[in-house]
Amino acid sequence: MSTVKSKKLQVGTDANSANNFTLYQPATPDGTLRIGVGNADSPTEVGQFNANGYKPATSPLIQIHLDADQTLSQNTVTKLNFGTVNIDTTSDYDTTNKRWIPSVAGYYKIYITFHPAMASSSGNWYARIFVNGTGTKLEYTLTEPSLAENQNVRCSGIVYLNGTTDYVEAYGNHNTSGTKTIYSPSIYTYFEGHLIQQA
């Protein structure tokens, strides 16, 4: 019985290296088997196998904060100015358009929360998750005077994003009187998301 030993195994011989895959061991063995896109001489790692199974090379995850306090007008659905990046493992967050366009197709858990400066008026506050410009999830919090300064408005959900063009954004609105402020400190207001299942 013979054994073939090699640190790299290329699958495919297409002239376009992006159509080939390579299974390989890192230069310093660490108990993992890597899978990469490209030829054996210079593959780009997309994932690896270890004793726990398969995991992608980099799993998309973000935590974004407001750039500054933001005002919302009454009965106006408004995109929240989440532009200060704390965590972005795949550099997929668009700080100009305030949207996340993750580069891996799959199902994502999205969570937003913000802290409004509540006054003595009554009404509802809404947090919304938009996918490709359409609202998919929302929650509301009553702004009764007795609850002033003690509530965050929150929204969470699981959405599918195709890894190329799909994007997710955070919106908010209220039907209390006048124009109200959302506080920006990161302990109060943030936008988070992470991949839970590739697809």
- Candidates 100, 102, 129; CA nearest to 114 is 129
Q: What is the pTM of this model?
A: 0.78
pLDDT tens digits, residue range 54-73? 776 778 999 999 999 999 99
Given a cut of 60, whether residue 23 has pLDDT beyond it is: yes
Q: Indicate the average pLDDT of the chain.
A: 88
Domains delineated in the chain = 8-56 (no CATH), 61-198 (2.60.120.40)
DSSP string, 70-133: EEE-TT--EE--EEEEEEETTS-EETTTTEE--SS-EEEEEEEEEEE---S---EEEEEEEETT
Nearest in space to 103 (alpha carbons), one of 56, 62, 163: 163
On the question of pLDDT at 91 being above 70, the answer is: yes
Could you read off the pLDDT of 96-144 as tens digits, one per residue?
999 999 999 999 999 999 988 776 667 888 999 999 999 888 877 666 5
- pLDDT level of residue 4 (50, 70, 90 thresholds): low
Answer for the pair 71, 162: CB distance below 8 angstroms, yes or no: no
Q: What mean pLDDT do residues 137-159 have? A: 74
Q: Quote the radius of gyration of the chain (alpha carbons, Å).
A: 22
Q: How confident is the model at residue 44 (pLDDT cuts 50, 70, 90)?
A: confident
Give the model confidence (pLDDT) of 94-103 as tens digits: 999 999 999 9
What is the Cα–Cα distance from 93 to 64, expressed in whole angstroms? Answer: 9
